[in-house]
Amino acid sequence: MTGNELDELRELTDPGSRVKQPAKEDDVDELETAIVEALEAINQRGKAKTLSVRDERLAAVIYGLEATGEIETVGASLQSALGRDVDDSVDRSELLRLALRVGLQEAAPEVIETAKSAQIRHMTDQF
């Protein structure tokens, strides 16, 4: 969990926040509920955490980045784009996770915000 996510969690758990109040039916987003349910299924029932993508061109790009040692450079750029601390030990899986997050942040930032809310809701439900 990043510092920003921890700050958001702290903010939401302060007295008077929406976490302390029962959620109204209209306040709960359908996507947020689906994400919370998926998190529970992953954690409790063993739903797969692994996703796969079948894309010849993308695979070639990733293999090329690995072969030339540029995967760390691209990974650092993606980490920067997400406001994260730069870590030079980026592997293929981490690069793909970062790229997907950057893509969602750029193209559908509301999905990322909903996912953050779902993560917080899931964590508070577990408490």
Amino acid letter for position 88:
D
Please state, in angstroms and rounded to a whole number, the distance separating the CA atoms of residues 116 and 110: 10
The two tokens of residue 4 are 């920003």
Q: How confident is the model at residue 20 (pLDDT cuts 50, 70, 90)?
A: very low
pLDDT digits (tens, 9 = 90+) for 42-89: 998 889 999 999 999 999 999 999 999 999 999 999 999 999 999 888
The label of the residue with tokens 């109040």 reads 21
- pTM over 0.85? The answer is no
Mean pLDDT of the chain: 85
| Residue 80 host element (H or E) | helix 71-81
Residue whose tokens read 């302390």 = 20
Question: What confidence score (pLDDT) does residue 23 get?
Answer: 45
